[in-house]
Chain A
């Protein structure tokens, strides 16, 4: 019991003493997941716009698949990426294994189903008369689609926040393809896992507090946005 209390006290000392390692880890986590969200948005938003607006055969199947992959196990994705990017793997020549970039790529893939599914729903909630309105006011088809996306922007932001949330809090991909290398790929989640097993409880608790606080603030903003 005293160990826990001691751990908590030390944790807060770490947080307030601006411990460089603590802040480096936090910064890297934010950077890696932020980059993942940017990448995922780049391909998910256009993809979801097309899926939300066009009708074609197989659309239901594609939608259903994205929905099903929302809960994809992170370790399995980590494993697949590890096999692809390891020295002897088909993509090994890029030398990306154990780099923050590969963690970002992995997280981007992980959150793509969330972004695509949520953005499609947001687009489908928009009155399609908006499209005809844009057209009759002189829009091209692309401009009309962008107008619908703008009308759906609240839902798009929500999707992006939810994606960031998932990327930021995941452990599997970061552990498997990042390797938790000191000063290079050490993230909030991987460090907590490692330091706890090594008995460095105060650092783990401090990192845990930071992780939870960021996720908490994020989710508060999500539910605030939902209400609007």
Chain B
């Protein structure tokens, strides 16, 4: 399969921050390519460059066999369209939002536009939503309208930035099915950013593993998920992955400065810039600080609770977002809810270097 697009040695810096560091990636024609990586790894940055909304600090892009000139965002914008991570709408009806891009194309008659709008709404199971106000829709509906708006344009390349994040299972499956369907039926090339390993595995044929602005590995599902993988095991569900600068302590452990509110102690010593991972099951949750020898105790606030059957998954903000698991029973015994304050405790030895 030929590459529809080629990213060569891309660098992107925002002031001091190097969001991308020498990214090389081929986007295969007609395939779904997933950018899989934790928060802050540079997924959005790559998509915005491909979409022609941002320029790389260094590096080159090829579309087919032609090199895209550094100041030529227009070509990319004609080929690709991006569905943003956070829904954005013109403050008007769903119809006007979807028709916006179609109206820019003078060759389409009013009737053709109407048809395309209703077809794309049907694809995302929102037929008849034309007259609704876009900003008044639910989160899931908004994300689906955003997808419909991009689909209506029928671009060669469809870019999706975390299209299902924070959605309930019903909305997730509608979106995932639509993505796969148009890839199958219209042969649209798709690049999807996600931090959800299961989603990457379920819907894509090619995965680029992105960590700290670098593509660590590219391969098929088999390559990435088939065998035990150094990078993947390290961020099992791409949760609890933290980067920072490590300093050695006198006791032979190290303190990793993740940000000004969060310092993690690890039993390994590896000074300099490191990325570490803590398995959710290694973190204890309690209402009060525990008396233990564990070196890492953080106070945080529950910002999300997800139901996983007999266990519940909590997202706790303690300077950074942690994922932790507790049984449903303890969840109710501890009277925990979104907004509750909890303590997270884990040993220095639970901190694994990636």
Interfacial residues, chain A to chain B (CB-CB below 8 A)? 127, 129-130, 132-140, 143, 147, 150-151
Contacts and interface: CB of A to CB of B under 8 A. Distances in A.
Contact of B105 (A127, A138, A143): A138
Q: Which of A132, A133, A136, A139 has the most CB of B within 10 A?
A: A136
**Looking at chain A's contact residues, is the secondary structure mostly helix, strand, loop, or mixed?**
helix
B86 A147 contact: no
B78 A136 contact: no
B51 A136 contact: yes
B78 A138 contact: yes
A143 B78 CA distance: 15
B107 to A, nearest CB: 13
B105 to A, nearest CB: 7
Contact of B86 (A129, A135, A139): A129
Interface in B55-113: 73-74, 77-78, 80-82, 84, 86, 88-91, 100-101, 104-105
B153 interface: yes
B104 A129 contact: no
Contacts of A139: 104
Interface of B: 48, 51-53, 73-74, 77-78, 80-82, 84, 86, 88-91, 100-101, 104-105, 149, 153
B90 A151 contact: yes
B33 to A, nearest CB: 18
The 6 closest A-B pairs by CB, nearest first: A137-B101, A129-B88, A133-B88, A136-B82, A138-B104, A138-B101
A46 to B, nearest CB: 21
Q: Which of A130, A138, A140, A151 has the most CB of B within 10 A?
A: A138
A124 B343 CA distance: 41
A14 to B, nearest CB: 46
Given A130-B90, A151-B90, A136 B77 contact: yes
Q: Which of A132, A133, A134 has the most CB of B within 10 A?
A: A133
A159 to B, nearest CB: 18
Contacts of B77: 135-136, 138
A151 B100 CA distance: 13
A147 B86 CA distance: 19
Nearest to A153: B91
B53 A143 contact: no
B81 A136 contact: yes
14 contacts: A130-B88, A133-B84, A133-B89, A133-B90, A135-B52, A135-B53, A135-B73, A136-B81, A136-B82, A137-B100, A137-B149, A139-B104, A140-B74, A147-B100
